[in-house]
Structure 1
């Protein structure tokens, strides 16, 4: 078991390397991966099941003792990133498919890596976990609504189908994971060591498949798509931190909210884009999956070296 844990940690630690390596392979040799497109929702479902297994009922109890903090974490999350995505897409004049993909990334809930980054940054980890949990549970309602509002004039959107897919891909697996964690905690504790590596494998497979599906067009949009994602992420992190300070949060809470806003569940954006939009619309989500982990790690390292005063 110790050997398996070491292998799992090795694979997980080098996540960005695997993404880059397999993305390059997918770009130059796309055909073998194209048939995997129909499996993307199932891969993301496995990732969300892993997230559910890491969540506990206690993760939602913080709202009872700190409702104001949780409220602002949720409101700021769904008010900042969707509108930043729309603003960046408009400012850069992105083609409709890329613009819709960037907005969709912003409309998705917080990424699970935000909890890890908050911990490394000496932020309020309990707040981060609670806000992530609530944002994920609320996604079936808020993500389609925000996406329709901001992108409905850019591309046709079947909001009902989008909602149902989020329920199937996110809500059901997360609820199942929480249920298993509650009812069979001893078993879940035994397998938690390998859950992260399964998630890494699934994310890498999803991103590689998106690259394969978009290989023909990627060369023409890669630079502008990367620039849009970098702006979206940087503005989100900055506004998240600043907005948290503005509503009266201390340093530790503000660090947590910065990551909750700047780090997305970009895998969900990829799955929804593949299912409902042009494959090119999945490119921003695929790039975001790598980029926000890089910037998040750098920011967490910087903050982690500075003891928060509040």
Structure 2
């Protein structure tokens, strides 16, 4: 199962290509199918969390605040800037900004683990950005997209609560009340999540195959720039503020990786007048995993030594 999960980017790209070649095979996977698929993914995330994870939030307030604020400023503004700079068509522009305004994706925690970054901090930032997405995502969309298309901020808020926050909290509560039963079920969580996210990608691509083919170059460029800029600026902000290297790497990952599945579900549910708004989420999901994997491979080969950790932590405390 681990090998299957680790090949997630391969299944994602393969599913997207298959949907382009045989779009009729996945056109049925749309609407509520996408919503329920993502709900299952978020429930699986909740199954992996414990009360201790919530307690950890209070042990690293500075790093956590940095990760949260960097994520919800750098990415939405970058998405908005790229949409204008590249002159994206209205539906694609809305979709790119929506992707950029979403919380961190659960894949960021895997990338942090592979990069030998601070996994505890990564989980905390993902958890915080996810639980507060029902406020942050609608506000950014209202501000950055409202002049292009009507934005139902309250509808976005409710959708995010239903699709993200509620399943995560139910998962955490279940893990607390029934740890043994949840442990048995959660073993299959990563595989189920991979299958669900690949099906979401297939459904979106198959229902917008012509638009994907016609705009592949520009959307691919937008996705690459969005995530590369997120990784770079996330790292630089942390270093400029004199946070340790390990924290900077973790913040970089948390800023650069988005919940593409959530963006797709929100686009389908709340931007029905702009059917193309879900398409950028597909490119984002593929690109961010490739960029994240490359960054993780580099950092894994250049780990933070204990000496560097000690020196930088001491420097930070004395500052």
Q: Same fold (TM over 0.5)?
A: yes
Equivalent residue in structure 1 for 2:293, among 286, 290, 297: 297
Q: Deviations over 1:24-81 (max 9, x none)?
A: 2211222242222121000000000011111112112233222111111111110110
Query: What secondary structure is seen at the aligned counterpart in 1 of 2:27?
Result: helix
Query: What secondary structure is seen at the aligned counterpart in 1 of 2:122?
Result: helix
- Within the alignment, does 1:75 sit opposite 2:44 as a pair? no
Corresponding residue for residue 212 of structure 1:
206
Corresponding residue for residue 112 of structure 1:
106
- Within the alignment, does 1:16 sit opposite 2:9 as a pair? yes
Q: Please give the alpha-carbon distance, in whole angstroms, between the structure 1 residues aligned to 2:245 and 2:205.
A: 39
Corresponding residue for residue 152 of structure 2:
158
Corresponding residue for residue 49 of structure 1:
43
Equivalent residue in structure 2 for 1:131, among 114, 125, 132: 125
Specify every segment of 5 or more residues in structure 2 that has no aligned partner in the other structure, as ranges: 310-319
Q: Please give the alpha-carbon distance, in whole angstroms, between the structure 2 residues aligned to 1:63 and 1:17.
A: 33
Q: Please give the alpha-carbon distance, in whole angstroms, between the structure 2 residues aligned to 1:285 and 1:202.
A: 14
Report which stretch shifted further, 148-157 or 252-261. Answer: 148-157
Q: Please give the alpha-carbon distance, in whole angstroms, between the structure 1 residues aligned to 2:53 and 2:241.
A: 23
Offset, 1:260: 0.4
Report which stretch shifted further, 299-308 or 196-205. Answer: 299-308
Report which stretch shifted further, 23-32 or 163-172. Answer: 23-32
Count of residue correspondences = 303
Q: Please give the alpha-carbon distance, in whole angstroms, between the structure 2 residues aligned to 1:165 and 1:305.
A: 41
Q: Please give the alpha-carbon distance, in whole angstroms, between the structure 2 residues aligned to 1:73 and 1:13.
A: 25
Query: What secondary structure is seen at the aligned counterpart in 1 of 2:57?
Result: helix
Corresponding residue for residue 277 of structure 2:
281
Q: Deviations over 1:129-169 (max 9, x none)?
A: 11111110000011100111111112211111111111110
Q: Which TM-score applies when normalising by structure 2? A: 0.92
Specify every segment of 5 or more residues in structure 1 that has no aligned partner in the other structure, as ranges: 1-7
Q: Please give the alpha-carbon distance, in whole angstroms, between the structure 1 residues aligned to 2:28 and 2:301.
A: 46
Q: Please give the alpha-carbon distance, in whole angstroms, between the structure 1 residues aligned to 2:164 and 2:6.
A: 25
Q: Please give the alpha-carbon distance, in whole angstroms, between the structure 1 residues aligned to 2:61 and 2:211.
A: 46
